[in-house]
Amino acid sequence: MSGSIDVERLAARLEELARIGAIEGTHGCSRLAATDEDRAARDLVVDWMRALELEVTVDAIGNVFGTRAGRTDGPPVVTGSHVDTVARGGRYDGNLGVVAGLEVLEAWNATGVTTERPVAVGVFTNEEGVRFQPDMMGSGVHQGFFELADCLAARDADGLTLGDELARIGYAGDAEPFTPHAYVELHIEQGPVLEEAGVTIGAVTSVQGISWTELLLDGQANHAGTTPMRLRRDAGLVAAEIAAGARRIALEVGADQVATVGVMELVPGAVNVIPGSARLTVDLRNTDDGALREAEERLLELARDLAEGEGVALTERSLVRLSPVSFDPGTIDLVERAARALGHDVLRMPSGAGHDAQMFAPNCPTAMIFVPSRDGISHDPSEFTEPKELRAGVDVLHDVLRELAG
Ligand code: HGY
Ligand code: MN
Ligand code: MN
């Protein structure tokens, strides 16, 4: 830990970021990827980076890196996360990892610490995948998992492409991707595990598999009053039955399986019109890839049967499919050792959420540090983590980065 870590300064920066796209009357914010709010948050972080005399670079998918020189050149140790949020998000998801990385570098600037290797703070484009799919897009392109051209061509609901939007907000860069010496990310847990265990630090062992599918249903809009039940081709009914079926499949597959229908749009969406079409998304996740595949197959089989039974056409589109990823044992050990040396309890645990770190894991020693989420809530404005827990997370990050950077 460093005496120069200032958790009030860190909290003030989280507050300043949270004011960008603030949701009235809450502590949360709305900052979808490549919107004006995302630009404002990026600009603020770049200002902080410049004030710390970091070398600021932007790559072709809009990832921003602030790099502090080491005594030698060569691949940097990277930390960081994302500043884009879900549509109604909290202030800690992603933002904590960026601000904590800057806090560590600021403490080193203040105390004249030098490191063998450079250390960079990354701000990765479109981690959330809400406006443009897939998620973890910037880190995925950076680490060669997603194709740059495909991601720049991704379109939002209004048909705007990410490439055009990055150019519009001034974050279409040309910095070359690179393989870090190591990657460590501080993030809120976003679930109930640490809080229920009464433990402050999570040493994350892996990220579970993620499967997102969009289902389009095309039936027949008709009059709600004059159309006999036997003549209906009700896309809304099929959408609702799929959502109920997703929950049943998750419970039947059991263990870590989770299923979420987060988007369900019925058209025309009028009280007296049978929905002619529907768009829904299904988010399936599991730590076990085989079980996840079983859940995916059962969900699609159910959707096809339900659609056929109602005479509704079904179009399936996979939005993202990521297998479970394990982090580096040596780096996980380093996280646990650093946390225990600081007097914190540590729990080894998988991550239920996707993270930029999972894109680095195949290419360099990678791990994550979790701090608790109050009531296990995240992806909601009420997301909260105690200042003393923020402090613990930054202290562990500091010591881990110091060791990795030499
Ligand atoms: O969906 C996720 O797990 C991440 O927040 N993008
Ligand atoms: Mn996140
Ligand atoms: Mn998130």
Q: Is the CB of 135 under 6 A from ligand 1?
A: yes
93 C-alpha to center of ligand 1: Å? 10
Residue indicated by tokens 């079926």:
245
pLDDT at 366: 98
Q: Is the pTM of this model over 0.85?
A: yes
pLDDT at 2: 79
Alpha-helical regions (H) of 120-219: 137-142, 148-152, 162-168, 193-197
Give the contacts of 281 (CB within 8 A, at least 6 positions apart): 212, 213, 214, 215, 261, 262, 263, 319
State mean pLDDT over 291-296. 98
Nearest CA to ligand 1 atom 4: 354
| Nearest ligand to residue 187 Cα | 2
Q: Is the CB of 127 under 6 A from ligand 1?
A: yes
Phi/psi for 373 (5° steps) reads -115, 125
108-125 pLDDT, tens digit each: 999 999 999 999 999 999
Could you say which DSSP state residue 304 is in? H
pLDDT at 1: 81
339-396 pLDDT, tens digit each: 999 999 999 999 999 999 999 999 999 999 999 999 999 999 999 999 999 999 999 9
Nearest CA to ligand 1 atom 6: 128
pLDDT at 3: 81
From residue 189, alpha-carbon distances to 72, 159, 265, 372, 383 in Å are 34, 33, 30, 6, 11
Pairing status of strand 182-188 against strand 366-371: parallel
Q: Is the CB of 128 under 6 A from ligand 1?
A: yes
Phi/psi for 364 (5° steps) reads -155, 160
**CA-135 nearest atom, ligand 1:** 6
Q: Is the CB of 383 under 6 A from ligand 1?
A: no
33-85 pLDDT, tens digit each: 999 999 999 999 999 999 999 999 999 999 999 999 999 999 999 999 999 99
Testing ligand 1's pocket by substitution, the residue of 95, 207, 210 carrying the most ligand atoms inside 8 A of its CB is 210
